[in-house]
Structure 1
Amino acid sequence: MAAAPRISDPSVDPVVAIYQVIALSATAALPPLLAYNQTPATTLYNQLLALASWGLVLWLWARSSPGWRAGLKSPAALALVLLLIAPPTSVIWRSLPLSVALDAGAVIGAGLAVLLVAQGLGNDARPKAGEAFFWGLLIAGLCSVAISVVQVFAPDLADGSWIARYGIAGRAAGNLRQPNHLASLMMWAAVAAVFGTERRGWRAALPVLLLAFVFAVVLSASRTGYGGILMLALWGVLDRRLSRSARLSLLATPVMLGVCWWLMSLWSTESGHAFGAASRLAEGAGSPSRLAILRNAWDLTLANPWLGVGWGEFNFAWSLTPFPDRPIAFFDHTHNLVAQLAVELGLPWASAVLALLAWALWRAWRGAAQADDDAPLRRAALMIVLTIGLHSLLEYPLWYAYFLLPACFALGLALPAASDARPAGSGPWPWLGGLLIAGSLFAVWDYQRIVVIYAPSDDAVPLTRRIASGQASPLFGHQADYAAATSLPPGPNALAAAKRTAFSLIDARLLMHWSRSLEVTGDVEGARFLADRLREFRNPTGDNWFAACTDAASAPAMPQCQPASAVVDWRRLR
């Protein structure tokens, strides 16, 4: 059995070194396990916990990262800098609400800081940080397996505070409440299991751990997760530095998938309970609506090739552009990292970001192939990045802090270590870490202005006052704007709120109220244009509204019964 990792680090006090390990493991483990939430943002507290805990990591690990300045020149850091510029430019030159930009800027900025600290870790600190990080992911994975079992086999035990409830019978979603997110977490836990068992010599435990994580993927019924399992098997084929038992265990993961599927099918048949994966398989390997949204996004990219539609503005531009063959679901993202960057930033800017990221991955791949002492760590870290990269071609996990920040840390570990020349002091990281902690606590307090709008207490003040208080929120004002746009009488105030909240998500209810406000303020052509877009979504809310058009007595009083005479550019509606 391999010796336990050294806790001591000559650059820090031994007590601080222990705190470093505990904090990093807890940071990797806890954000995906938090179940408590408040309406309307179900995973907000998971993201705030991720930001605060990674802020603590920055604070504690600052002096163990002597090479962070050299990391500023790395292609991965430059890519994140280019992304960090995007939200404020959309505020200044477009119409992106400041609250939306602040949310994006905080997460991207935190990701850049985490990347730099990880890449700048000294030779003594790097293995210690890597093992703490992977143990945290392993703990998160094992706990999520238990949560998934409860959600599928004993859903009545899910209380919503410790174990999240999930509304689709026979499927697991973990405490992140999204099956695809659960599947990605299982892939990370599987990578952590390979690293941990290889490092400690606990090789007999690996097949059992991998079987548990594959079983959770089957319970999630995530097609993205099935692709991740194939990636694990490919890792077993390509990485000849792994032990023979580890490679065989990885190669066996597709077989584990088949066995788990067969056993769940038997259980479903015998018990009469739903098996979510079987119904998902009936939908096919792909998603027609996802393919349609990619086609629409490409059309928007061709129409705005140089600077795109603007950061955070895809939802606005896509929903308000005529697409007769659009998918009827309301999408706020293209579900593909490449397509999202291209449509929002334009081809030159997006190409620069993607080229830098590809260069960073190539450096990590080449370095992992050539490394000796830290090869297992760097290869496992690279697998963390590659698995979430696969997910990012089918979903948008990197828009969530609890995935982006660990991915940035893993990329920093996978890249060649920066210079060990120690800079004076600990850099800006303690200050930035403190800011992330304080900002997260402020966000929890600030969010209560939104909670009371959607889930008021018995003694709550009137709705209009709650909405006005929520609209004053610097971080979540756009969520209060939705309530204003859909509950205030049609008019100038409701119209202004509709335009702001539309950058978050446009749905049938918002389109209907937005159209009414345009009508009341005299823009009948704009009102008809929005009504035309609502018809394209073929949503029951819109169908009920348009039912009045079949009544000859009521049709003249509703201008939206007539189509718009011309296409209205979506920019004019901002």
Structure 2
Amino acid sequence: MSYQTSAAPHEAAPLALVLAVTLPTLLAFNQTPAATLYNQLLALAGWGLALLLWARSAPGWRAGLTSPAALAMALLLVAPLSSVAWRGLPLSLGLNATAIIGAGLAVLLLAQGLSRNARNVAGEALCWGLLVAGLFSIAISLAQVFAPGWADGDVIARSGIPGRAVGNLRQPNHLASLMMWGAVAAVFITERRGWRLLLAPLLFACVFTVVLSASRTGFVGIAMLALWGIVDRKLSRSARLTLLATPLMLGVSWWLMSLWAAAGDHAFGAASRLAEGAGSPSRLAILRDAWALTMAHPWLGVGWGEFNFAWSLTPFPARAIAFFDHTHNLPSQLAVELGLPWAGAVLALLCWALWQSWRAAARDDDEAPLRRAALMVVLAIALHSLLEYPLWYAYFLLPACFALGLALPAPAAAGSSPRPASPVPAMALGALFIVGSLFAVWDYQRVVAIYTPSATAQPLSQRIATGQRSPLFGHQADYAAATSDPPGPAALAAARRTAFSLIDARLLMHWSRSLEATGDAEGARYLADRLREFRNPTGDSWFESCAEPASAAAMLQCQPASAVIDWRTLR
């Protein structure tokens, strides 16, 4: 059977791509305990639809399997389930990570394999999606700062940080990255459409919103926009000058917000944020501790998804006192979880892919403007990944993978190959992502019922037992079991499973009590020692009784452990 190598995209395909990029960033509705789960599921479903509609326009997707970017994603794809099989990572966490990475690989291959005509259409649709997402996020941010009463939590998310915008993704840094993507998309679209007079107001709106977010990552991103204006001599003169003016826009935005704050005694989040300093001592501390763990496990790392577990349960007397589940740096995260050889291979392949994209963007052909814009999308989120972990979220990973596929040189099979690849596998994956996302919404309700019970809900113990049977979110139910069940074997098993997701003060307290109840006094003391290191108010209150001689004798956690316990034995 043969397939047309230049099949035109389905007429609904560009709109599907715009919606796949836009809608996940704008959804405010959420249910406890996962604030952005529905945003991620909407991203998976949206990109699944994009795969369905664009698959016939990607005759060269199979040729992209040997590209360095695809090989890097393939190396990452096997990591979560390998940790499930050999490291003890709960299956629910392994399946979640595998689904997101697998979707990223599929989207990357789709973009790489698009025919020439389809690439141009898809690239413009991607940029329209990023611009629309940016414009709506600007409006949401203005409401969060200047009219916080409009934020109802369902249409406009509430900002929990006075004077700062968080967008509907509820994180200032995520909002700043959206603004960087929106700015890149604005440059591409205004250049392509000849709407150059619109670029200055669009970029100012993006920069102003970065100031509203008070994201230090966003401020560095603005410098990247200015650098783009310096380096890219193929942009129009007006576009380059506008990009070079973005630091000035930052200064004007800061001045305007300072006037507003002074006039009405309002909170100006950016001013107080930068008063903390340009760097973050807690982030530097977590990087230092992550490197120590990497040196302790240099060959295979601590295991995918196990940094939180290993770091929280390893003695670090000078540790960052916040509870971190990530190192906030992509190379560091890969190194500590996968080990230096595996992480080094992934990072080397990704750097090779960026170099290929850079060389392709330097060509003087019809696709060069698209490739340069796509490369800027990738570089913007790569910069963010050195300070945060946006690529662990589907609504950032999937557009980034698609942009990387567009930036890379097209495989030969995407041109006029006599044997183009069948679109069926891509279409099947698209359908799987849609069905899987719908199933995940249904499955998640088992956990929602634990934390937000209805008037006719079953007793808590039954709701927890039902949630623990969830194949995708059982670890969320395990947290409820570990912290509400009586100390003992069942609560201990639940604590060990949910600890791979996030360890906090409450979990450490209950985990220690369960170890005590099962006769492991040394383990109970060891976990109490780790809780002391975090200097958390919840833990400090628990240890207050240790100051009383009678209570100190009765509570074994008042005494330190006699030796260091290997964190791997606590799994």
**TM bracket, shorter-chain basis:** over 0.9
Mapping 1:377-456, distance limit 5 Å: 377-419=370-412, 420=415, 421=417, 422-456=419-453
Partner of 2:568: 571
Partner of 2:98: 105
> What amino acid does structure 2 have at the position aligned with 1:155?
P
- Distance in 2 separating the partners of 1:77 and 1:427: 19
Are residue 202 (structure 1) and residue 195 (structure 2) matched? yes
Deviation at 1:169? 1.2
Pairs aligned (count)? 564
- Distance in 2 separating the partners of 1:371 and 1:294: 41
- Distance in 2 separating the partners of 1:135 and 1:292: 39
- Distance in 1 separating the partners of 2:131 and 2:367: 20
- Distance in 1 separating the partners of 2:423 and 2:497: 40
> What amino acid does structure 1 have at the position aligned with 2:554?
A
CA deviations 1:429-488 (Å, max 9, x no partner) are 111000000000000000001111111112111000000000000000000000000000
- 5+ unaligned residues in a row in structure 1: which ranges? 1-8
Mapping 1:19-30, distance limit 5 Å: 19-30=12-23
Partner of 1:51: 44
Task: Say if 2:61 and 2:421, in contact at 8 Å, map to a contact too.
Answer: no
- Distance in 2 separating the partners of 1:533 and 1:481: 21
- Distance in 1 separating the partners of 2:366 and 2:327: 41
Indicate how the Cα distance of structure 1 residues 546 and 60 shifts in structure 2: closer, same or farther if over 3 A, else same: same
Partner of 2:213: 220
Mapping 1:264-275, distance limit 5 Å: 264-275=257-268
Are residue 470 (structure 1) and residue 461 (structure 2) matched? no
- Distance in 1 separating the partners of 2:6 and 2:223: 41
- Distance in 1 separating the partners of 2:531 and 2:553: 19
Task: Say if 2:21 and 2:399, in contact at 8 Å, map to a contact too.
Answer: yes
Mapping 1:157-556, distance limit 5 Å: 157-419=150-412, 420=415, 421=417, 422-556=419-553
Task: Say if 1:308 and 1:342, in contact at 8 Å, map to a contact too.
Answer: yes
Task: Say if 1:84 and 1:105, in contact at 8 Å, map to a contact too.
Answer: yes
Question: What RMSD, in angstroms, separates the aligned Cα atoms of the two structures?
Answer: 1.0
Deviation at 1:424? 4.9
- Distance in 1 separating the partners of 2:530 and 2:270: 34
Deviation at 1:426? 1.0
> What amino acid does structure 2 have at the position aligned with 1:227?
V
Deviation at 1:12? 4.0
- Distance in 2 separating the partners of 1:494 and 1:166: 34
- Distance in 1 separating the partners of 2:421 and 2:272: 59
Partner of 1:6: none
Are residue 148 (structure 1) and residue 141 (structure 2) matched? yes
TM-score, length-scaled by structure 1: 0.97
Partner of 1:4: none
- Distance in 2 separating the partners of 1:88 and 1:191: 36
> What amino acid does structure 2 have at the position aligned with 1:520?
A
Deviation at 1:64? 0.3
- Distance in 2 separating the partners of 1:424 and 1:41: 39
Task: Say if 1:481 and 1:497, in contact at 8 Å, map to a contact too.
Answer: yes
CA deviations 1:313-347 (Å, max 9, x no partner) are 00000000000000100000000000000000000
Task: Say if 1:470 and 1:476, in contact at 8 Å, map to a contact too.
Answer: yes
TM-score, length-scaled by structure 2: 0.98
CA deviations 1:254-310 (Å, max 9, x no partner) are 000000000000000001110100000100000000000000000000000000000
Structure 1 runs of 4+ aligned residues shifted over 2 Å read 9-13, 422-425
SS of the residue 1:175 aligns to: coil
Deviation at 1:555? 1.7
Partner of 1:3: none
- 5+ unaligned residues in a row in structure 2: which ranges? none
SS of the residue 1:66 aligns to: coil
CA deviations 1:34-63 (Å, max 9, x no partner) are 111011100000000000000000111001
- Distance in 2 separating the partners of 1:165 and 1:290: 26
Task: Say if 1:121 and 1:418, in contact at 8 Å, map to a contact too.
Answer: no
- Distance in 2 separating the partners of 1:325 and 1:89: 32
Partner of 2:85: 92
CA deviations 1:534-567 (Å, max 9, x no partner) are 0000011111111111122222221111000000
SS of the residue 1:137 aligns to: helix
Task: Say if 1:191 and 1:383, in contact at 8 Å, map to a contact too.
Answer: yes
Task: Say if 2:524 and 2:557, in contact at 8 Å, map to a contact too.
Answer: yes
Task: Say if 1:311 and 1:344, in contact at 8 Å, map to a contact too.
Answer: yes
Deviation at 1:423? 2.2
Deviation at 1:10? 8.4
- Distance in 1 separating the partners of 2:52 and 2:217: 35
> What amino acid does structure 2 have at the position aligned with 1:392?
S
Deviation at 1:17? 2.6
CA deviations 1:159-201 (Å, max 9, x no partner) are 1111001111110000000000000000000000000000000
Identity, in percent, stands at 76
> What amino acid does structure 1 have at the position aligned with 2:354?
L
- Distance in 2 separating the partners of 1:246 and 1:116: 31
Deviation at 1:383? 0.2
> What amino acid does structure 1 have at the position aligned with 2:207?
V
Deviation at 1:425? 3.0
